[in-house]
A and B are shown apart, each in its own frame.
Chain A
Amino acid sequence: MTGQAHTGRPRRLLRNLSSKIASIPMMLTAVVIFLGGTTWTVVYSFTNSKLLPRANFVGLDQYERLWDAPRWIVSIQNLAIYGALTLVFSLVMGFVLAALMDQKIRFENTFRTIFLYPFALSFIVTGLVWQWILNPEFGVQSVVRALGWTSFTFDPLYNADIVIYGVLIAGLWQGTGLVMCLLLAGLRGIDEDIWKAARVDGIPMWKTYLFIIIPMMRPVFITTLVIIASGIVKVYDLVVAQTSGGPGIASEVPAKYVYDYMFQAQNLGQGFAASTMMLVTVAIIIVPWAYLEFGGRKRV
């Protein structure tokens, strides 16, 4: 800084200087790591880089190969099924649990801990636990058969048609507790007077929830949505631990395709193309929504 700053009006840049300095590391991280890394990845997805990045451009070759690969198509389908169902079920189940928890029940702390506990486990542990539970020789199927129902068949992880639902069960088991906690916090934030007013007007409880409470909890729902959605897009470790993509390629997901092709197949270009497609997909969903959500509000 030179002394000249004293003479003029304090410039806008210097207002809240300490907070601006404090945020420099994060800004640098965002620009260099996120933006820089993303740009680099997109640029190199147009090359034929193998084990090491090489700037030998081949146009859209990597993308053509990607969309010709049956494994990539299966991955996208699986992500769509897993994503849609996770979103719906974890929100519905999370909200129902939170609403039940909000009825001033006894041992609320205990229940809350039990429901939230799975979230403390890593996806790897969750995946392994559910791999055992769903294994036909050791898990649910053998228990039910031991009880006498010998024709009972339940082996989702070994049936290519339904394996993704086996993964979904494990994902929900782990994620629902967190959704419940977030929504419970939202419910607790609702003023007691609103409940009283609704009761005075004789509105049934389910209607109060549906038409008064839920609309009031909009910000909490949006936070929850973002957390669930980011968890869906990056799902990888759960699949690796539970099925390693099998049987065959029936439970592959895009993030696993990226990793396998970048590192196991030593084909960086293909991995970059796949990760760019993931970014594009996310952008297609997020950008219009963010525009409506945040862009619209400013004008009001």
Chain B
Amino acid sequence: MRFMAAALAATVVLPSAAAYATDLEVTHWWTSGGEAAAVAEFAKAFDATGNKWIDGAIAGAGSTARPIMVSRLTGGDPMGATQFNHGRQAEELVEAGLLRDLTDVATRENWKEIIKPASLLDSCTVDGKIYCAPVNIHSWQWLWLSNAAFETAGVPVPKNWDEFVAAAPALEKAGIVPLAVGGQAWQAAGAFDVLMVAIAGKDTFNKVFKDKDADVAAGPDMARVFKAAEDARRMSRGTNVQDWNQATNMVITGKAGGQIMGDWAQGEFALAGKVAGKDYTCLPGLGVNEVISTGGDAFYFPVLADEEKSKAQEVLASTLLAPATQVAFNLKKGSLPVRGDVDLAAANDCMKKGLDILAKGNVIEGTDQLLSADSQKQKEDLFSEFFANPSMTPEDAQKRFAAIIASAD
């Protein structure tokens, strides 16, 4: 009993002690080596404002973490701030009034002017109010090639997708898997989206995913994409790994010729001490159509009753977007900053290519921004089946794809 009393007394004392520096719990799913180093930059910057960052990392990918975050929010146990991929993942939470309106902070700090491209902020906006702070841009449209693998096979490193397809038989003869595609469903779906932008172009991409035009999805342009996907399926036979970084590792070690993966793969190459241009080659837009998508991560702030914590949320929101934090964070993360006015001199070749494309404005929105989680999941089911099952024809797959687009909201 005495212990109980002491414990109770302790809980009474604690809140008053904490009032000086406000603790804010921040949940996210950045747990790999490079990601953890990047998020530490945020924590450092926030702690420097006199508040305290309580790290709430949730292991596993976003698909594991998001259900936990959502159930904490809907279950009445909100955290101080939480990561989502900006776009439609948090849409209903905003509509249910669980997330906080940040318009005041955004106007004060002039987010409308500084955040580039503007579509990032649009994805945070519901009914004219801003609900999230975007922190980085991640693009999917990259083909990573192992220079060593092509040397072994005795063919030059391809400069675009068609050359890569043509080089595949030589790679196979040398015992190398031409294209590594991990077994997780999102990787197959993501690779298909990349093929789509590269082969059918930006307009088709927007017509299908933004306007949900099922006729275009069933049309001849998309048929070409499905043919390319069939090539990709043939080239990916024998991958036999699950996680994306295991697939990237096949490219790093020269067991695979290449991988279609987002710019986060760069961290793995860097970690292995590989140099862009020398050990590996990166082709944005598969070397065909240099367009990158501007999906990424954003922080959302739940509505809290506590005045102090609400104030701390505002401080955190502006800290995340401060130029110094943006540079420190994005260099470690391998992603691009959300503001155009910061200097990334330390960026490597591939990141510079990305920055160039961004500056030219050759951008599309990410599929997370355009499609609901439900449609995304159906698409994942379709493409994971397509890539694993050689007896499924491109025509059948396209028919099912068009049906998903027709029912998408």
B157 contacts A by Cβ under 8 Å: no
| B377 / chain A contacts, CB cutoff of 8 Å | 260-261, 264-265, 267
Q: Is the CB of B374 within 8 A of A270?
A: yes
Q: For the complex, give the distance between the alpha carbons of A51 and B90 in Å.
A: 9
- Whether, in the assembled complex, A263 has its beta carbon less than 8 Å from a beta carbon of chain B, the answer is yes
A250, closest chain B residue (CB): B388
Whether A266 contacts B385 by the Cβ 8 Å rule is no
Other than the given A245-B185, A250-B389, 13 more pairs (CB < 8 A) read A50-B372, A51-B91, A51-B92, A51-B93, A136-B240, A248-B387, A249-B388, A263-B70, A264-B63, A264-B66, A264-B377, A265-B376, A266-B372
Chain B residues 75 to 104 lying within 8 A of chain A, measured CB to CB, are 89, 91-93, 96
Q: Is A219 an interface residue (CB 8 A)?
A: no
Q: Is B381 an interface residue (CB 8 A)?
A: yes
In the bound assembly, the distance between CA atoms of A267 and B372 in angstroms comes to 10
Within 8 A of B (CB), among A260-282: 260-261, 263-267, 270
Name which residue of chain B comes closest to A53, CB basis. Answer: B74
Q: Does B357 contact A (CB under 8 A)?
A: no
With a cutoff of 8 Å between Cβ atoms, the chain A residues found around residue B67 in the complex are 263-264
Given contacts A52-B92, A264-B67, A266-B89, contact A249 B378 (CB under 8 A): no
How many angstroms from the CA of A244 to the CA of B63 in the assembled complex?
13
Counting CB contacts under 8 A, is A102 at the interface?
no
Residue in B91, B374, B388 whose CB lies within 8 Å of A265: B374
| Contact among A158, A245, A250, A263 for B240, CB-based, below 8 A | A158
**Minimal Cβ-Cβ distance residue in A for B90:** A51
Contact A246 B93 (CB under 8 A): no
Complex Cα spacing A70 to B389, Å: 13
Contact of B385 among A51, A137, A155, A249 (CB under 8 A): A249
Of chain A, the residue at the smallest CB distance from B384 is A248
A246 to B407, CA, bound (A): 25
When C-beta atoms are compared, the residue in chain A nearest to B373 turns out to be: A266
Interface residues in A134-159 (C-beta closer than 8 Å to B): 135-137, 155, 158
**Does B152 belong to the interface (CB within 8 Å)?**
no
B residues less than 8 Å from A249 (CB atoms): 381, 384-385, 388
- Could you show 9 A-B contacts with beta carbons less than 8 Å apart? A51-B93, A69-B381, A246-B183, A246-B184, A263-B67, A263-B70, A264-B377, A266-B89, A270-B374
A74 to chain B, nearest CB (A): 8
Closest to B88 in A: A266
Task: Judge if A247 is at the interface, Cβ distance under 8 Å.
Answer: yes
- B399 CB to closest chain A CB, in angstroms? 12
Q: Is the CB of B374 within 8 A of A50?
A: yes
A158 to B387, CA, bound (A): 12
How far does the alpha carbon of A160 sit from the alpha carbon of B70 in the complex, in Å? Answer: 33
CB distance from A167 to the nearest CB of B (A): 15
The yes or no answer to A71 lying at the interface (CB within 8 A) is yes
Please tell me if the beta carbons of B240 and A244 are within 8 angstroms of each other in the complex. Answer: no
Cβ distance A58 to chain B, nearest Cβ, rounded Å? 13
Q: Does B386 contact A (CB under 8 A)?
A: yes
B232 nearest CB across to chain A (Å): 14
- B342, chain A: closest CB distance, angstroms: 34
B242 beta carbon closer than 8 Å to chain A: yes
In the complex the two chains form, what is the Cα distance from A33 to B230 in whole Å?
Answer: 49
Q: Chain B residues with Cβ under 8 A from A155's Cβ?
A: 240
B contact set with A: CB distance below 8 Å: 63, 66-67, 70, 74, 89, 91-93, 96, 183-185, 240, 242, 372-374, 376-378, 381, 384-389, 400, 407
Tell whether, in the assembled complex, residue B92 and residue A160 are in contact, meaning their CB atoms are under 8 Å apart.
no
The answer to whether B92 and A50 have CB atoms under 8 Å apart is yes
Residues from chain B with Cβ under 8 Å of A264 in the complex? 63, 66-67, 373, 377
A51-B92, A270-B374 given; A71·B66 CB < 8 A: no
Query: Are A267 and B374 within 8 A (Cβ)?
Result: yes
Chain B nearest CB, measured from A138 CB (Å): 11
List the B residue with the shortest CB-CB distance to A158: B240
Q: Can you list the 4 inter-chain pairs with the closest CB atoms, starting with the nearest?
A: A248-B388, A265-B377, A263-B67, A247-B388
B388 touches A160 (CB 8 A): yes
- Smallest beta-carbon distance A149→chain B, Å: 20
Closest Cβ of chain B to A40, distance in Å, is 15
| Contact A244 to B242, CB < 8 A, known contacts A52-B74, A264-B63, A266-B92 | yes
Task: Compute how far the CA of A151 lies from the CA of B132 in the bound complex, rounded to whole angstroms.
Answer: 56
Q: How far is the CB of B85 from chain A (nearest CB, A)?
A: 13
Contacts of B242 in A (CB 8 A): 244, 246
> Shortest distance in angstroms between B316's beta carbon and chain A's nearest beta carbon?
24
The answer to whether A248 touches B92 (Cβ under 8 A) is no
Q: Which of A135, A155, A247 neighbours the largest number of chain B CB atoms within 10 Å of its CB?
A: A247
- With a cutoff of 8 Å between Cβ atoms, the chain B residues found around residue A65 in the complex are 407
Please, how many angstroms separate the alpha-carbon atoms of A136 and B372 in the complex?
A: 37
Q: Which partner residue on chain B sits nearest A70 by CB separation?
A: B385
Min CB distance B395 to A, Å, is 15
State A135–B74 Cα separation when bound (angstroms): 40
B385: which A residues are within 8 A, CB to CB?
70-71, 248-249
A137 to B239, CA, bound (A): 11
Known contacts A264-B66, A264-B373; A248 and B386 CB within 8 A of each other: yes
Residues from chain B with Cβ under 8 Å of A263 in the complex? 66-67, 70
The residues in A between 58 and 73 inclusive whose CB is less than 8 angstroms from any CB of B are 65, 69-71
* Min C-beta distance of B126 to chain A, whole Å: 14
Q: Is B374's CB under 8 angstroms from A247's CB? A: no
Residues of the A chain whose Cβ atoms lie less than 8 Å from the Cβ of B376: 265
A26 to chain B, nearest CB (A): 25
Q: How far is the CA of A264 from the CA of B85 in the complex (A)?
A: 13
**Cβ–Cβ contact B240 & A248, under 8 A:** no
Find out whether the CB atom of B74 lies under 8 angstroms from the CB atom of A246.
no
CA distance A71 to B386 in the complex (A): 12
- Docked Cα-Cα span, A266 to B377, in Å, equals 9
Could you say which residues of chain A place their CB within 8 Å of the CB of B400?
Answer: 70
Query: Which interface residue of A65, A158, A263 has the most chain B CB atoms within 10 A?
Result: A263
Q: Check if B374 sits within 8 Å of A266, measured CB to CB.
A: yes
Residues of B within 8 A of A69 (CB): 378, 381
Give min CB distance, A75 to chain B, whole Å: 11
CA–CA, A270 to B386, complex, Å?
A: 22
Distance in Å: Cβ of B235 to nearest Cβ of chain A:
16
**Chain A: minimal CB distance from B8 (Å):** 27
In the docked arrangement, what's the CA distance between A245 and B242, Å? 11
- Please indicate the chain A residues that have their CB under 8 angstroms from the CB of B386 in the complex: 248
Residues A244 and B66 in contact in the complex (CB < 8 Å), given A50-B374, A71-B381: no
